[in-house]
Amino acid sequence: MTNFFQILGGLGVFLFGLRLMSTGLQQAAGEQMRSFLAKVTSNRVAGVLVGCGITCLIQSSTATTVMVVSFANAGLLTLVQAVGPIMGANIGTTVTAWLVSLLGFKVNIAAFALPIIGVGFPLSFFSSVKTKQWSNVMVGFGLMFMGLQFLKTGVPDIGAHPEALEFLKNWSQYGVVSQLIFILAAAILTVMVQSSAAMMTITLTMTASGWIDFHIAAAMVLGENIGTTVAANLASLGANKVAKRVARIHTIFNLFGVLWMLPLLSVILGVIDQVIPGDPITEPISRPMHLAALHSFFNISNTFLLVWFVPQLARIAEKLVPQTEEEAAEIMRLKPLQLGILNAPELSLFEVRRALVQMEELVAQMFGQLSEVLTHPKSKLGNVVESIKRGESRTDEMEEEIVAFCAHLAGSGSSPALGEEVTKALDMAKYLERCGDYCMNLVLLAQRRYDKGYEFNDMAAKDLDDIIGLAGKSLSLAGHALVPENTPKKAEALLVEKEINKLRDRARKRHAESMQAGTLGVREGLVFIDMLNNMERLGDCSLRIVEISSELPMAGNRS
């Protein structure tokens, strides 16, 4: 029983250290990595390299795959563009196995793990956020290997207790069927642990200690590659069709790899035995490196085979996740905020920014419809009014979802700096929702004008046309500022807002004179002034979004 709790505790320390290190790396360098990933072109080889590089750095294929799914959900990556980084993430995640096999079983872990923790922990007392993040990286790295040490010492001496493996021997005598059993078991365990790196470490520890046969461990490595695809599929729940298809491709990719590699497993292991020193059958200490090589070979060779068939994989995914005509025509609802399995709060905040971009796109679509009816006052507005009503209702729902998600994020123990960013994100959602309200007000004013047959004189029509153009430009600048990779154009937004105010004041004065002179009816004049006021308020909200976005820390890192 003591050994069981030591193994359980060792696993807990390892997972905590891995998460702490991964989170610290994501916080320290995640924004630059996300910006880089968002700019991946259709070059599939470049996508593979980027996905591999990011995963190697942040030590979390889960974070990379969820990032890719969220980008696909936000429309930043097409289905074909998203496949390369997913494949690359599979290669990058093999680094953990190499670290553990090279350092964890052949080096005195305490000799370097404790000093790293000793150096890293005092850095957490510094005021610099960046220094604290790197402190988490160092402490997490040390704890990861301390947990591995506990795992190693917690596994009993199998030589003294050979009877403990009798049940495994019973299950390992059925050839391919046995391999399938252990592949399935490893896939399920990986889903339960929610970390292929952790499950790989457990497998390495068990086989190095003689608890499981080398060939059983090899089958488990294949199963772990299937289990890790669950992260992307969980991330796609509630997301759009493209995100679901990306997740399905991830599953297809790894399943295909297992299917073609399983019949050739003995041959592949034989080749690895020729390349990697030691005999894994008679020397348990050499098994971790052989398994790490198998893990790398699986992902690298599978990527090399399938990277040339990305369009075909995309077509298969489209058949697995079909899209109806109604869904294609429907305005995309806010769903990326349901990606609740991200390890780092900064990645979750990044999803909020993507959601705000979606919200602005919906408002811009409403404004585009509105501009059409305002400049064609004799057109029947029934369908447009209903469409903008639906849009306004959706902006309300989007704001509620953002508020609920940010409340959960703020309660997750995030840093004060992150708390400020959450507050600013909430403010931007509020201003976008108000923009939707002003669009609704304007279309109702246009409907009243149509129903009553109000006519504006040429001067009023010209002023209305000018202010529509300025308000549209202001909203466009807000949308530009919301994209994390863009530099907010604050100076330009201020100039546009001044022009809107100047035009509104001038138009008010001139059309008050027109009403006094009788060239513009009082009722028509009041409708016109209300339109101007709503346009000006929409411009105000757009400017505030640009100003808030320019205050965010990530704005200073943009080029």
Q: Is 518 helix (H, G, I), strand (E, B) or coil?
A: coil
Task: Give the integer Cα–Cα distance in Å for 155 and 437.
Answer: 63
Q: What is the pTM of this model?
A: 0.54
pLDDT at 300: 92
Paired tokens of 111: 């000799």
Task: Give the integer Cα–Cα distance in Å for 64 and 93.
Answer: 10
Write down how long the chain is. Answer: 559
Buried b / exposed e over 159-171, threshold 16 CB at 10 Å, is eeeeeeeeeeeee
pLDDT at 161: 46
Low-confidence spans in the chain with pLDDT less than 70? 1-4, 6-7, 11, 14-15, 18-19, 21-42, 57-63, 66-67, 69-77, 103-112, 145, 148-175, 193-195, 231-232, 234-240, 243, 323-348, 377-382, 410-417, 515, 517-522, 552-559
Could you tell me where the DSSP H helices lie in 321-381?
A: 325-329, 345-375
Task: Give the integer Cα–Cα distance in Å for 10 and 4.
Answer: 10
Residue pair 86/250 in contact (Cβ under 8 Å)? The answer is yes
Task: Give the integer Cα–Cα distance in Å for 17 and 151.
Answer: 14
Could you tell me where the DSSP H helices lie in 155-263?
A: 166-171, 176-193, 196-208, 214-227, 230-235, 241-261
Amino acid (1-letter code) at residue 559 = S
Radius of gyration of the chain (CA): 29
**Torsion of the alpha carbons at 509, 513, 519 and 523, rounded to the nearest 10:** 70
| Helix, strand, coil distribution of the chain in percent, nearest 5 | 80, 0, 20
Paired tokens of 376: 């064609």
109 alpha carbon, distance to own chain's centre: 34
Residues 6+ apart with CB under 8 A from 183: 219, 220, 222, 223, 226, 258, 262
**Torsion of the alpha carbons at 282, 283, 284 and 288, rounded to the nearest 10:** -120
Please say whether the dihedral angle defined by the alpha carbons of residues 49, 54, 57 and 63, taken in this order, is positive or negative: negative
Paired tokens of 251: 């599953």
Task: Give the integer Cα–Cα distance in Å for 54 and 335.
Answer: 25
Task: Give the integer Cα–Cα distance in Å for 251 and 229.
Answer: 5
Task: Give the integer Cα–Cα distance in Å for 242 and 327.
Answer: 12
Alpha-carbon distances of 313 from 47, 84, 437, rounded to whole Å: 15, 11, 43
Task: Give the integer Cα–Cα distance in Å for 28 and 236.
Answer: 26
262 alpha carbon, distance to own chain's centre: 32
- CA-wise closest residue to 517 among 525, 529, 505, 506: 525
DSSP assignment of 95-153 equals: HHHHHIIIIITTS-HHHHHHHHHHHHGGGGGSS-HHHHHHHHHHHHHHHHHHHHHHHHH
Residues 6+ apart with CB under 8 A from 27: 133, 136, 344, 346
Tens of pLDDT, residue by residue over 397-413, are: 888 888 887 777 766 65
Residues 6+ apart with CB under 8 A from 65: 86, 89, 231, 232, 235, 250
Amino acid (1-letter code) at residue 421 = E
Paired tokens of 240: 């759009």
Residue 558's Cβ-count burial label (10 Å; 0-12, 13-18, 19+) is middle
Question: Where in the chain do CATH 1.20.58.220 domains reside?
Answer: 342-557
Q: What is the CATH number of domain 342-557?
A: 1.20.58.220
Tens of pLDDT, residue by residue over 274-288, are: 888 888 887 877 888
Distance in Å from the first CA to the final CA of the chain: 58
Q: What angle do CA 285, 288, 294 make, to 5 degrees?
A: 140
Residues 6+ apart with CB under 8 A from 329: none
Q: How many CB atoms lie within 10 A of CB 66?
A: 27
Element holding 476 (H helix, E strand):
helix 458-482
